[in-house]
Structure formats: structure tokens, C-alpha cells
């Protein structure tokens, strides 16, 4: 029986974030959806208004004996710009903010330590604006968003 844990991240458009994590050894499954807002059962159209408070997020089920939460954090940090508030590349809005949604106190501790270490590293001129907040209800996005890039034979959102 597999050992399973859950991790949830937001780092811009969820299509590319999902594809990045989906390919990792030890990741059992990924789903894209919405987290961190105040509207129950939001749709993509709702979230795009910028009025629900949700972020486009990826929920990851992983086997910690094959990949650690620290390793997932490293992939998270390396695959987006954590210094831009409510923006990743051309995507602008609160739904594209950088967030680590922690599922337990250990994830909170590891996320905070990794953020502090990265901030002190001097890698970025600007401060890291990534939020570290408790995971809330994850609302799975519509089916056409799931593994969007893989279904279309694309490797990234940049085509």
C-alpha cells in the first residue's frame, strides 16, 4: 500500500504548474482547481472575475517515501517568480498569486523555513510575496482544465 500525503500550491496559471508537478517521480496524482476564496463551488468564470478570492491551485497526492515535501517546495520555488504580487508573466490578478497551502504544521514549518532561506539567499532583488496559509476547501476545476497541456501535446503555457 502506498503512503500518501497531500500538498497544494498556487503559482500562476494552473495548467503549467500542474504539468510541472505531474511528471515528478513520487507524485501519484495531480488535480487543478481553486482554493483560498470565499465562494462555494466556484467555476472558472467566477474565479476569473477576481472577486472570489480563490487562487488557481494544484492539489498533489504524493508518496513521501519517493519524494519529500521539501523536494516539492524546491520545484515550486524554481518554477515561478515568487516576488510578483498577483501576477505570473502575462497573467495578472489575485487568482494568479503565489501561495503554499499547508495541510499540517510540519508543512507550515518546512514552507516557512524554505521561504526564509530563499529570501536570505539573495537570488531575488525584491521580497518574496508568497503566502503560506492553511489549506481550505479545494474545488476541482472543470474537466477540460485537468491535464490541459498534456491533452494538447504541449509542454508549457508558452507554447
Hey, what's the cell of 99? 501561495
Helix, strand or coil for residue 62?
Answer: strand
With residue 29 as reference, give the H or E element that holds it: strand 27-35
Separation between Cα atoms, residue 56 and residue 139, nearest integer Å: 10
Q: Which one-letter DSSP state was computed for residue 106?
A: H
Q: From the CA atom positions of the chain, what is the Rg in Å?
A: 15
13 among known catalytic residues: yes
* Selected catalytic residue, list 10, 11, 13, 58: 13
Helix, strand or coil for residue 11?
Answer: strand
As annotated, the active-site residues are: 13
Amino acid at each position: 500500500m502506498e503512503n500518501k500525503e497531500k500538498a497544494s500550491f498556487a503559482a500562476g496559471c494552473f495548467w503549467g504548474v500542474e504539468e510541472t508537478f505531474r511528471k515528478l517521480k513520487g507524485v501519484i496524482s495531480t488535480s487543478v482547481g481553486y482554493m483560498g476564496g470565499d465562494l462555494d463551488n466556484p467555476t472558472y468564470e467566477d474565479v476569473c472575475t477576481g472577486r472570489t478570492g480563490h487562487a488557481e491551485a494544484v492539489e498533489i497526492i504524493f508518496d513521501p517515501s519517493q519524494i519529500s515535501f521539501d523536494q516539492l517546495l524546491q520545484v515550486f520555488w524554481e518554477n515561478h517568480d515568487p516576488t510578483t504580487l498577483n501576477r505570473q508573466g502575462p497573467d495578472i490578478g489575485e487568482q494568479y498569486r503565489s501561495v503554499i497551502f499547508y495541510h499540517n504544521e510540519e508543512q507550515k514549518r518546512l514552507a516557512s523555513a524554505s521561504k526564509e532561506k530563499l529570501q536570505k539567499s539573495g537570488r531575488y532583488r525584491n521580497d518574496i510575496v508568497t503566502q503560506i496559509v492553511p489549506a481550505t476547501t479545494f474545488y476541482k476545476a472543470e474537466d477540460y482544465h485537468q491535464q490541459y497541456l498534456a491533452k494538447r501535446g504541449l509542454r508549457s503555457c508558452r507554447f
